[in-house]
Amino acid sequence: MTTTSPRFGRVRRAVSLLTTAGLVATAAVALAGPAQAGTTLGQSAAERGRYYGTAIAAGRMNDSTYMGIVDREFDMITAENEMKMDATEPNRNQFTFTNGDRIVNYALSKGKRVRGHTLGWHAQQPGWMQSMSGQPLRDAFLNHVTQVASHYKGKIYAWDVVNEAFADDGRGSRRDSNLQRTGNDWIEAAFRAARAADPGAKLCYNDYNTDGINAKSTGIYTMVRDFKSRGVPIDCVGFQSHLGTSMPSDYQANLQRFADLGVDVQITELDIQQGSNQANAYRQVTEACLAVSRCTGITVWGVRDTDSWRGGANPLLFDGSGNKKAAYTSVLNALNAGNNNGGGSGSVDTNAWYVLVNRNSSKALDVYNLSTADGADIVQWSRNNGNQQQWQFVSSGNGSYRVKSRLSSKVLDVYAKSTADGGEVVQWSDNNGGNQQWNVSITNGYASLVNRNSGKALEVQGASVADGGNVVQYSNWNGANQQWQLVKVG
């Protein structure tokens, strides 16, 4: 026995283990709850911890066929043009939010979420901004970011803070623009201003022709890695995915390499040219997102083919009359066939303190007996929000986190790097070892923590509901005793 707690001797552990094994055999089906099939895109995506969204135009909101589809199918909304710089600040320091508000308020009133698009871009700038440069432009631009993000504070799921700032030159360079010429740090300055204005919104970088591993996506990858290493606030990367007739074969691998940097990934403006491969390519994009646990959702850029900005390409899921196309059926089937590992871990706030409440027992993850020693046992206890029940997620920079106690500053540790079912979880001084790193994925509000060294999940042993119930690692079967609600307390 490895822990300092006298209560957990070998005999008791062996008994508990048998209980856990029995539970797996008999109760897995009842507790695990595989994702249900959905009859709409939004509903099916939500079953898998994702969203399915569309861009809409304020000018079409009186079209009942159009709005009928939006109401029914989509649970995430992007304003196609109404929140861009020319729309929101047509004259310097004179902000117009009428159309943006109309879209945002519609979405929120229907229980849908909103992607904000976009705070910074070389295109669709108001005339006054196009003719500016240097420090005055920098100031005016950052003021724009602050004002618009502040106006929508609390209403936006994710902002495209900067859009299309990389060139198509085959070298992964920044795109030349008036904003770029204010200094290479204009992007990070925008992210910092956006975070200060709306700390609750996820902050994304968004671009096109980045849908496979190529010079442009690698340029962005290098920037995101740099931002993460220097603490520039970035939470997600958007892949527009305005595609021709096919999807790049390394599409999923590209999403995954970004996710591995510790950001969410989102498909933000999907449309695929009509042709014999259209339904198949839509299926492939859907499957790629579902295969990447930090791919939090997909947005298509418009509703019907006749609403598309790509006139003639017929690149969307509904025809001009609002009928479902083969591409629609292909997406819905792919969603319904998908796993429910999703939702990403982007909602973990590394500045916050959380109580981790077990879904099965409603007890909190707790350092036993207020210990501050290496090796002290981790148990569950009735929630009291004490420091011994408060935990912070510390990023390891690779998409996983250490989980640090507020009381002891020690981190959750699988004792002696065990890879076995029932391996003891203790606290230990932080050495960033693989046995101290956890992949956090949140589905429908519940987090699972999978140890990076062992691949096993953090669980309450034997699905105990008692104070002092032991916390161990065990094969991940998505049991309620392996799911934790993250309750922010500080």
* Binding stretches for ligand XIL (CB under 6 A): 80-81, 163, 208, 240, 269, 309
CB of 195 to ligand XIL, least distance (A): 21
Residue whose C-beta lies closest to ligand XIL: 309
Length of the chain: 490
CB of 433 to ligand XIL, least distance (A): 42
CB of 16 to ligand XIL, least distance (A): 54
Shortest distance (Å) from residue 164 CB to ligand XIL: 6
Q: Which of 73, 89, 188, 269 is catalytic?
A: 269
- Give the active site residue among 82, 164, 188, 424: 164
Rounded distance between C-alpha atoms, residue 213 and residue 490, angstroms: 39
- Tell me: cis bond preceding 118? Omega within 30 of 0 counts: yes
At its nearest, how many Å lie between ligand XIL and the CB of residue 207?
8
286-322 exposure pattern, b = at least 16 Cβ within 10 A, e = fewer: bbbbbebbbbbbbbbbbbbbebbebeebbbbbbbeee
Is 164 assigned a catalytic role? yes
User: 272 or 379, CB closer to ligand XIL?
Assistant: 272
Q: Nearer Cβ to ligand XIL, position 209 or 405?
A: 209
74 vs 415 by CB, closer to ligand XIL = 74
Distance CA 187, CA 183 (A): 9
Min dist CB 169 to ligand XIL, Å, is: 18
Other C-beta atoms lying within 10 Å of the C-beta of residue 2:
13
First to last CA, the chain: 34
**C-beta closer to ligand XIL: residue 240 or 254:** 240
Q: How deeply is 351 buried, as exposed, middle or buried, from its count of CB atoms within 10 A (0-12, 13-18, 19+)?
A: exposed
Q: Is the dihedral of CA 167, 171, 172, 173 positive or negative?
A: negative
- Contact between 73 and 51 under an 8 Å Cβ cutoff? The reply is no
Nearer to ligand XIL, 163 or 481 (CB): 163
Strand partners, 411: 404, 428
Q: Is 89 labeled as catalytic in the residue annotation?
A: no
Residue 315 or 423 with smaller CB distance to ligand XIL:
315
Longest CA span, the chain: 77
Supply 309's token pair: 């900005």
| Listed residue (404, 471, 403, 409) closest to 438, CA to CA | 403
Q: Which residues are the active-site residues?
A: 164, 269
